[in-house]
Amino acid sequence: MTIKAANDSHQLSFWSAEFKDPAMEQAYQRHVLPDTVRFLRISLCVWAGLLIVFIPADLAFLSFSEGFFVIGGLRVAHATLLLWLAWQVSRRPAMASNGWPVTIVALLGYPMYLVYPAYQPELGVVGLGVMMMMFLSMYVFIPNRLMLTNLIALVGIVGVITGLVLQGIPFFAVMLTCLTLCWPAILGFVAAHRVNMGSRHAFVLLQQAGSANVVLEQEIARRKELEAELQRQALIDPLTGLSNRRHYEMLFEREHDRCRRHHSALTLGMIDLDHFKRVNDTCGHEFGDRVLQFTAEILQRPLRHSDILGRFGGEEFILILPDTDIAQAQAVAERMRLSLEQDALVKDGTAVTVTATFALTQVLAEDADIQECIRRADHALYEGKRAGRNRVALADAA
């Protein structure tokens, strides 16, 4: 997403205090839904409780008159609706963010406020005060969409004004009442508008922080991959994928120390491809690289996970067999030699067979380093080449 597109999706409507981008607004509603559900349920239950609490006051003013039963019935009905909505919201959380269920239930409570003056005209000031408190509560304490709360306030104001006009109240008194009711509605709108705008600005900052964290995590992951790749390249021969000199020497030292401690056998071998220069000269260096890759693949087949195969240089390879004596190593090398001899590469429709000479030496506890073992194996390799190549030669341990 470009910076301009991101800024467009973050734009807020002044009147609704919602994101202009529907997808962004839906994302915000999903983010705040758990809190909205919790606060809405608490608010509805408190609202229902306050309606019931005022029943004794109605009884004190109206006794057991028709007005008491009408208003009391409206109170109980509205409180029941509020508690029902609180229960429904817990089962269907989407109702909390929709806004219309709260709006409809709030509008259904107006008959009680509108008929109250008909039974107790002398309490008109009290009813007006209750209506003002209700407007403030709807804006500040009842989670709802701002435009729907505006609708609730508008219907209430129009209902009260209409009732006053029908009662023949003087125009000045009607206008004064209208202004009195508009005051808490405007005040509530400003307060709710500030809260809604602030919450959405905070959501944008949270998203931006989350995006920055994702980018940072991706960068960290990329650097780790790069570090791992650099480490791998430092230890692996790029052509064959085998251990390079640095790697197999490090592994040899580790295995040599372990074999000394456990008094177990360790065998080192050298492998040299026969007549490889002829392959390069005849078929080209590119095919020669293919031969080296092919050889590395064939030689690894009979090896265990703990065995080590590395590229010594050119067409030569190093073999390290932990927990393996010279006789066992000879059997392994013979399998490798036969596998290489029996497989072939195809060059321009012609099968090209590759063979190799193997030389093995038993690693001794007193060997100072890998170079002593390589010198013995190299001498045996030379003897194997002189004896006709494509064979396994054993070095003297002395």
Distance, in Å, from the CA atom of 248 to the CA atom of 137, rounded to the nearest integer, reads 76
Q: What is the mean pLDDT of residues 206-226?
A: 89
**Per the structure block, which two tokens stand in for 147?**
């435009």
Nearest to 133 by CA among 167, 180, 75, 170: 180
Q: What is the predicted pLDDT for the residue at 18?
A: 92
Q: What is the predicted pLDDT for the residue at 305?
A: 92
Q: What is the predicted pLDDT for the residue at 116?
A: 72
Percent of the chain with pLDDT over 70: 95
Q: For the range 43-46, what are the long-range contacts, defined as Cβ-Cβ under 8 Å and sequence gap of 24 or more?
A: 43/141, 43/142, 43/143, 44/82, 44/83, 44/85, 44/86, 44/89, 44/102, 44/142, 45/82, 45/83, 45/86, 46/141
Report the amino acid identity of residue 281: D
Say yes or no to pLDDT of 119 above 80.
no
The CATH number of 245-394 is 3.30.70.270
Distance, in Å, from the CA atom of 182 to the CA atom of 188, rounded to the nearest integer, reads 10
Say yes or no to pLDDT of 7 above 70.
no
Q: What is the mean pLDDT of residues 373-384?
A: 94
Say yes or no to pLDDT of 395 above 60.
yes
- pLDDT bin (cut points 50, 70, 90) of residue 4 is very low
Report the amino acid identity of residue 10: H
Q: What is the mean pLDDT of residues 362-372?
A: 91
Q: What is the predicted pLDDT for the residue at 160?
A: 84
**Alpha carbon 155 to its chain's center:** 46
Q: In this predicted model, what pLDDT tens digit does every residue of 340-361 receive, in sequence order?
A: 999 888 888 788 889 999 999 9
Q: What is the predicted pLDDT for the residue at 317?
A: 97
**Per the structure block, which two tokens stand in for 85?**
């909505």
Q: In this predicted model, what pLDDT tens digit does every residue of 160-182 receive, in sequence order?
A: 888 888 888 888 888 988 888 88
Q: What is the mean pLDDT of residues 268-292?
A: 91
Report the amino acid identity of residue 27: A
Q: What is the mean pLDDT of residues 315-339?
A: 95
Residue listed under structure tokens 């596998």:
339
DSSP classification of residue 164: H
Greater model confidence, 59 or 39: 39
Q: In this predicted model, what pLDDT tens digit does every residue of 85-118 receive, in sequence order?
A: 999 999 999 999 899 999 999 999 888 777 777 7
Distance, in Å, from the CA atom of 317 to the CA atom of 299, rounded to the nearest integer, reads 10
By CB atoms closer than 10 A (0-12, 13-18, 19+), residue 339 is: middle
Residues 359 and 377 sit within 8 Å (Cβ to Cβ): yes
Q: What is the mean pLDDT of residues 211-220?
A: 89
Instruction: Rank 109-113, 218-222, 307-311 by mean pLDDT and report only the highest.
Output: 307-311
Q: What is the mean pLDDT of residues 353-370?
A: 92
- pLDDT bin (cut points 50, 70, 90) of residue 127 is low
Say yes or no to pLDDT of 392 above 90.
yes
Q: What is the predicted pLDDT for the residue at 231?
A: 78
Q: How many CA atoms lie within 13 Å of 385's alpha carbon, on the beta-carbon side?
A: 13
Percent of the chain with pLDDT over 90: 57
Say yes or no to pLDDT of 388 above 80.
yes
Contacts of 267 (CB under 8 A, 6+ apart): 319, 320, 321, 324, 325, 326, 328, 329, 360, 361, 362, 363
Residue 398 three-state SS:
coil
**Per the structure block, which two tokens stand in for 218?**
């991706």
Report the amino acid identity of residue 363: V
Q: What is the predicted pLDDT for the residue at 126?
A: 62
Domain ranges of the chain: 3-213, 245-394
Distance, in Å, from the CA atom of 311 to the CA atom of 247, rounded to the nearest integer, reads 10
Q: What is the predicted pLDDT for the residue at 121?
A: 65
Q: In this predicted model, what pLDDT tens digit does every residue of 285-302 receive, in sequence order?
A: 899 999 999 999 999 999
By CB atoms closer than 10 A (0-12, 13-18, 19+), residue 297 is: middle
- pLDDT bin (cut points 50, 70, 90) of residue 2 is very low
Backbone angles phi, psi at 302, to 5 degrees: -85, 0
Q: What is the mean pLDDT of residues 53-80?
A: 88
Q: Mutual orientation of helices 66-91 and 110-119 as an angle, nearest 10°?
A: 170
Say yes or no to pLDDT of 396 above 80.
no
Residue 331: count other Cβ atoms within 10 Å of its Cβ: 12
